[in-house]
Amino acid sequence: MIRNTKTKEVQPSHTLDENNILKQIDGIEALKQSIERMLTTERYQYSIYDHRYGIEFSELIGGDADFARLDIERRVKECLFEDDRIENIYNFYAQIIDDNMLIRFDVDTIIGTINMEVNL
């Protein structure tokens, strides 16, 4: 008799640099990388991602800078709270530098606190 068995292979996390795997990472570093990827992926733009993945940032480009700076916190929270590992986001700071927006914030997760800085 042949038994029906299922196996689940768990792959380690990887860190990417220009699509090259540099090293394997797990834990807080993997979550930090995941947060950065979520915030640098435009929501609804790539069919490979679920409609809840990514941030709606492109519509802020070219608009009122003050509005963008004020609204980005809401958009970041909306994006990141889709991840069940994220518990809280606070100490939010946004600054527009030339054509970019620098955001800094702290994230409480199920595995610890992360200090994030992302250039959008």
Instruction: Answer yes or no: is 87 within a domain.
Output: yes
CB 29 within 8 A of CB 15: yes
**Structural domain includes residue 7:** no
pTM of the model: 0.73
CA distance 77 to 32: 15
Q: Has residue 56 been placed in a domain?
A: yes
Least-confidence region, from 21-25, 38-42, 50-54, 105-109: 21-25
Average pLDDT estimate for 85-106 = 92
Domain-located, residue 88: yes
**Residue 20, pLDDT score:** 64
Q: Is residue 3 part of a domain?
A: no
Counting the structural domains of the chain, the total is 1
* Mean pLDDT in residue range 24-34: 88
Here the CATH number for the domain that contains residue 102 is 3.10.450.40
Residue 1 lies in a domain: no
Domain that holds residue 63: 14-119
107, with CB counted inside 10 A (0-12, 13-18, 19+), is buried
For residue 1, pLDDT beyond 60: no
| pLDDT on residue 57 | 77
Average pLDDT, the chain: 82
5 lies in some domain = no
Reply yes or no on whether the pLDDT at 15 is more than 60: no
Mean pLDDT to the nearest integer, 20-24:
68
Q: Does a structural domain hold residue 41?
A: yes
The token duo for 33 is 């990388």
